[in-house]
Structure 1
């Protein structure tokens, strides 16, 4: 009989995928001792878009204060060489002693700076960010469970279409056996959607809740709400077409 072997393969696929998803959700999940109720702009930027978003926010903030010029041609020019915090000093250092550089390498260098790594470590310790080793795990595990569900359906179809079923075996019974691992896979996906959706690469569920609260106030023209919008939504939220063009230029 072929169908028991196919059923075994289905259970292995679903069991492996669901176990991975459960472990990933537990690791990214949540620290119940989180007591933070607000985020700094740098923290919001990291939780929304990672190190690159922090670098972008720093560049936009400095340009907003006229301490840095962002040309639509993709160049950044230093106006005030005195950084007010570690992030700004990282950006100025990435631009270099000539005071002018392309934006793309500046963003890449600033995103890899020690100040950003320290920020990430603080957010992980606070239970707001996903640890580095598990940042892509939840989304990957969800995809694996979806693939396992499709594999179960395919294996079940093959089993039902196999012409060598021995007499007395009911196709309905075989379909029921294959329905069990399929129900398990779909149930895991439903639980994951409720518990850890959206499947963020950077923010833990606790961090996502703070971001959601912050996003409601990211509308307006004053500096704080403008930069909050950039931190949460990225450079595409910048109101000036020239700023967006500066980052989009290749």
Structure 2
């Protein structure tokens, strides 16, 4: 009887996870298509950063740009110190508000979270989503939850099968028969995982397919000695920085 209950639990786990995954894929596919930016134009540095890594990447670019021009000191211990609070850039003003006036300090990861949720970053997200270049938050969140659910089911079903095998036989079916009971729900979850990689994977990133195409084009970064480095940071992340201490600073000093 316990084996039957475990089999029912395996089927329920697989069915719920697969249903959520299919619903997420259908909902994402039904997201109203928006035309790309017209007329075509190059992405700005912060737009490219958002499409590549979301609000956190936008903050990485902003913090490093302020650090390079000595408006902000990023310590490898994970602290950010305001040196010059004068700026006309809305993103940099968000950073200053998150830390305080000149001389004030705050943890770098806390600054990234606070400034990354500011109106200036949300404006970038809304603009890119409206242009069809960024995946809407609801579609990305729902898709990610569905993929996590199907992965959990893919581990849960074999665990339930092993538990069923470990139960005393008591004249019940042999081990191979018990495994056969669980083969179908396991096959269902593994098939759903494959479907998820094909149908749902594009909606887990910040950039939509059109956004990824735009990222492969030119990026309108400000002129200056740091242009190439900031562009590489926006697209490739902190790993592109040649300064290991600066990489540690963006990683909160870890």
TM-score w.r.t. length of structure 2: 0.72
Q: What residue in structure 2 maps to residue 47 of structure 1? A: 51
**CA deviation map 1:177-217 (0-9, x unaligned):** 432221111111011112333774x51542673487369xx
| Cα pair distance change 1:117/1:93, threshold 3 Å | same
Contact 1:47–1:203 (8 Å) recurs in 2:
yes
1:89-168 aligned within 5 A: 89-98=93-102, 100-102=104-106, 104=108, 105-159=110-164, 163-164=169-170
Aligned to 1:43, what secondary structure does the other structure show?
helix
Q: What residue in structure 1 maps to residue 221 of structure 2? A: none
Q: What residue in structure 2 maps to residue 224 of structure 1? A: 227
- Consecutive unaligned residues of structure 1, counting only runs of 5 or more, are 216-220
Deviation of residue 13 (structure 1)?
Answer: 0.7
Cα RMSD (Å): 3.7
**CA deviation map 1:127-153 (0-9, x unaligned):** 443433454443333232222233323
Tell me how far apart the structure 1 counterparts of residues 241 and 12 of structure 2 sit (CA, whole Å).
48
Contact 1:13–1:148 (8 Å) recurs in 2:
yes
- Consecutive unaligned residues of structure 2, counting only runs of 5 or more, are 219-223
1:184 pairs with one of 182, 188, 206:
188
Tell me how far apart the structure 1 counterparts of residues 132 and 171 of structure 2 sit (CA, whole Å).
54
Q: What residue in structure 2 maps to residue 218 of structure 1? A: none
| Cα pair distance change 1:123/1:136, threshold 3 Å | same
TM-score w.r.t. length of structure 1: 0.73
Aligned to 2:234, what secondary structure does the other structure show?
helix
Aligned to 2:43, what secondary structure does the other structure show?
coil
| Cα pair distance change 1:171/1:109, threshold 3 Å | closer
Tell me how far apart the structure 2 counterparts of residues 153 and 67 of structure 1 sit (CA, whole Å).
55
Deviation of residue 173 (structure 1)?
Answer: 6.0
Aligned to 2:193, what secondary structure does the other structure show?
helix
Tell me how far apart the structure 1 counterparts of residues 155 and 230 of structure 2 sit (CA, whole Å).
43
1:13-24 aligned within 5 A: 13-24=13-24
Aligned to 2:36, what secondary structure does the other structure show?
coil
1:57 aligns to 2:58 (yes or no): no
1:88 aligns to 2:89 (yes or no): no
